[in-house]
Amino acid sequence: MSESRSGKNDLRIREMKAGSTTTNPKKAAEEIDQYISMMQKKFEKIKNRIMIFSGKGGVGKTFIAASIAMYLSKMGYKVGVYDADETGSVIPFVLGNSDAEIYMEESSGELIPANIKGIQVMSLELMLKEKDSPLIWQGALRTKFILQTLALTRWEDLDFLIFDMPPGTGDEAITISQYVPSPKYAIIVSSPGKLSEGVVRKAVVFLKKMEIPILGIVENMSHYTCDDGSKIEVFGKSYIEEIARDHGIEALGKIPLDERIRESQDKGVPIYELASGSEIDRSLELLAKKIIEKLSSKDL
C-alpha cells in the first residue's frame, strides 16, 4: 500500500480552499453526485451511524461523543468517529492523541483514518499543518469537505460510526442529515438550565423534520456529587425528563460533573481507567449499554 503522510493531505485541503475543481454547474453537480455514490458504498460496511447532536455549544457534546466511542470500544465493538465540527475540532485531543496521523493511499486517493486507542478517527484537525490557524471556510466549502471525506475515507468494518456534530442546525448538520445513508440515529446532548431547554426543543424539531430517529437525550454536567453524597445542581434545574416526556423520547442519562474529566483529557487516559467504578464511570458505561439496547430492540 502506498500511503502519504500529512503533507499530501495539506495539499488536498489547499485545493479545496480554491473552491470547486470546475466552474461548470453541471460538472460540479456531477462531482457531488459522485461523492454521494461513493459514500453510500463505503457505508455498506458500517452497521450503525449515530449523530451526537446539540442545539448550542458549551454542553460537552464532544466529551459525550468521545466517551460513547471509548466505552463501546471497551465493550469489544469496532468503532469509528467522524469529526464534523470543522471549526471547533477537538475530538483527537479528547480521545487522547492530537498527534495521530491520517494517511492517503496515492493509488486510489482513499483516506486512511487515524487509529486512536483502537478507534478509527477522521478529523480535519489531524490534516492541518498549522494547528493554530483558524478555519475560514464558507458553508458550501464545508459541505463539500464533508461529502468528499465521507466518500474517500476507507473505514474498516464498523459496528458504530459516531458523528461529533457541530452545535446548531447549520450546513454540516443539514449535509450529514440529508446524505448519510440510513439507518442513522441521533442522540441530543443538553445541559441543565432554562436556556438549554429551549435550544434542545429546537434540536428535537430539526431531527424530526429530517426524519432521523432520536435514540434519546443525555444531560451533561447534570450535577456535582459532594463527598457526603449530596448533589449540587451547579448549572440550574434539570429539564431532561420534561423534554423527553413532551417529545415522546427517552432520557438516556444524567452525566455528573467530575474534576477527573479534565485530568483524563490532559493525560490522554480514558475516564474508565482514571476513575474506574466512580459515578461518572458508571453513568457513561450505562449510557453506552442503553444505546446498544435501543438499537437492538429497534424500538425507536
Would you list which residues are annotated within the binding site for ATP?
Answer: 55-62
The DSSP H or E segment spanning 232 is strand 231-232
Q: Which residues touch 19 (CB under 8 Å, ≥6 apart)?
A: 141
Buried b / exposed e across 265-291, counting CB within 10 Å, b at 16+? beebebbbebbeebebbebbbebbebb
- Positive or negative, the CA dihedral 39, 42, 43, 46 is negative
Annotated binding-site positions:
55-62
Does the N-terminal peptide bond of residue 166 adopt cis geometry, omega within 30 degrees of 0? no
d(CA 77, CA 71): 9
Alpha helices in 153-259 (DSSP H): 171-179, 194-209, 240-247
The DSSP H or E segment spanning 46 is strand 46-53
Q: Could you tell me the CA-to-CA distances from 156 to 31, 65, 196 in Å, in that order?
A: 25, 20, 37
- Residue 217 half-sphere exposure toward CB, CA atoms < 13 A: 31
d(CA 113, CA 124): 11
